[in-house]
Amino acid sequence: MTFHLANVAESKLVSEYGSPLYVYQLDAVVAALADLRDALPAEAALYYSLKANPHPQIAATLREGDCHAEISSEGELAAARAAGFPGADCLYTGPAKSAEEIAAALDAGVTLFSVESSADYRRVARAAASAGKLARCLIRVSGSASGAAGLRMTGVSSQFGVDARELLAEPERFADVEGAQVVGAHFFPVSNVADEECLFGEVAGSIATAARLRRETGLRLKQLDLGGGFAAPYAKPGARPRYPTLRRRLEKVLDAHLPGWRDGSPLIAFESGRHLVGGCGTLICSVADIKQRADRTFVLLDTGIHHLGGLSGLGRMLPDAAPVPVAESGEQTSTVTLAGPLCTPADVLSRSTRLAGLTPGDLLAFPNLGAYGLTASLIAFLSRPAPAEIVFRGEEPISASRLRITRETIR
């Protein structure tokens, strides 16, 4: 199912809320959640990763669909709380957590933390001990075992997690301490994997690694978070990939390695951001100017890398976005460069979009921008206002709001 704004008059929205603006369709979130649940074992818990989009109504829709929240900052904690998630429903992740944010999370009732090193584990333990609490910790593991023998490390080294070989060699670094105990493992080796075979291989490798760690180190495995990697198209037309055989194949691997999982021992969990919410968002913008140069045509928009695709953190310096015209011109398309209004040559959204017959004032719609859109972009750069964000349920607009960055005085 696709959720274009077929019956929503883009130009009416623009005249009411200004251009550019984001539109989110909650029905698309509900549909994506149902499809992902179908692709995963029924017994598994599912965490919504608020980094994909912390909008409270999007997060609340996933809470109503029985998701938990995967959060990674005090801001995401606040967004999760605003969406109605109790602290006890949140998993707090991240590779370099500060003592202050851990204390704030504990104070909000968070008890489950992904720890990414023994120093991170001790920091969580110290904060919990001084608050008189016990933190339950999942060790984030950064390798996977392929088959029964040997460890296959997932590609290049990264700043994330604890190397599986280190864990096998020195499990005592994660022994119970005052304030914390390890209750399981957390994997997130890949992201945005559309190929089912490849995704299955990664998750199966994580299951094998977790089983091996339990067998060889006595790792307590009450919960196993297998991460995700479920893909979604970004800023261009396209459908969410489906994983029709994943559930059945994962159940077999879990039965083989972790009998007991069907009764919650261990509790299996997955995480998803982009796959759940990518398809719900559309960015509508206007053509501000068109410049014919000798070698190419520049289409200047009123939106740019401050509203979408400022994803340097995800290795997406050039989003290569492909908007669709809100009104078809019928003319033959040609390749254009899409540039934004910022005073930097980096403000380019695509060098290869094919469009036709545009004139200043025309509206364009970037589909599939419900994840890693506005809040993953350079929103403060050049101090322009954020676009309005309009949330729809069915045909009904249910909220309109705008993010604002303000300066506060520190005593």
Ligand X SMILES: Cc1ncc(COP(=O)(O)O)c(C=O)c1O
- Taking the C-alpha atoms of residue 146 and residue 153, their distance in angstroms, rounded to an integer, is 9
The stretch near ligand X (CB under 6 A) out of 54-62, 98-106, 265-273, 375-383 is 265-273
49 binds ligand X (CB under 6 A): yes
**Residue 243's Cα: distance from chain center in Å?**
18
Nearest approach in angstroms of CB 391 to ligand X is 20
The stretch near ligand X (CB under 6 A) out of 23-31, 223-231, 262-270, 402-410 is 223-231
192 binds ligand X (CB under 6 A): yes
Q: Helix crossing, 246-257 with 26-39: angle to 10°?
A: 50
Cβ contacts of 320 within 8 Å, gap of 6 or more: 235, 236, 349, 350, 351, 352
101 binds ligand X (CB under 6 A): no
Nearest approach in angstroms of CB 229 to ligand X is 7
Q: Which of residues 63-92 bind ligand X (CB under 6 A)?
A: 70
Start-to-end Cα distance in the chain: 52
Cβ–Cβ < 8 Å for 323, 338: yes
Strands 297-301 and 281-292: antiparallel
Nearest approach in angstroms of CB 190 to ligand X is 9
189 binds ligand X (CB under 6 A): no
- Residues 298-337: x/- map of binding to ligand X (CB under 6 A)? ----------------------------------------
- Taking the C-alpha atoms of residue 286 and residue 411, their distance in angstroms, rounded to an integer, is 42
Beta bridge partners of 311: 316
228 binds ligand X (CB under 6 A): yes
Q: Residue 177 or 267: which CB sits closer to ligand X?
A: 267
- Taking the C-alpha atoms of residue 163 and residue 139, their distance in angstroms, rounded to an integer, is 10
Amino acid letter for position 360: P
What's the full length of the chain, in residues? 411
Q: If binding means CB under 6 A, how many residues of this protein chain bind ligand X?
A: 16
Residue 381 dihedral angles phi and psi, to the nearest 5°: -70, 125
Taking CB under 6 A as the criterion, the residue among 19, 61, 73, 93 binding ligand X is 93
Taking CB under 6 A as the criterion, the residue among 61, 209, 272, 377 binding ligand X is 272
368 binds ligand X (CB under 6 A): no
Give residues in contact with ligand X (CB under 6 A).
49, 52, 70, 93, 188, 191-192, 227-228, 230, 271-275, 371
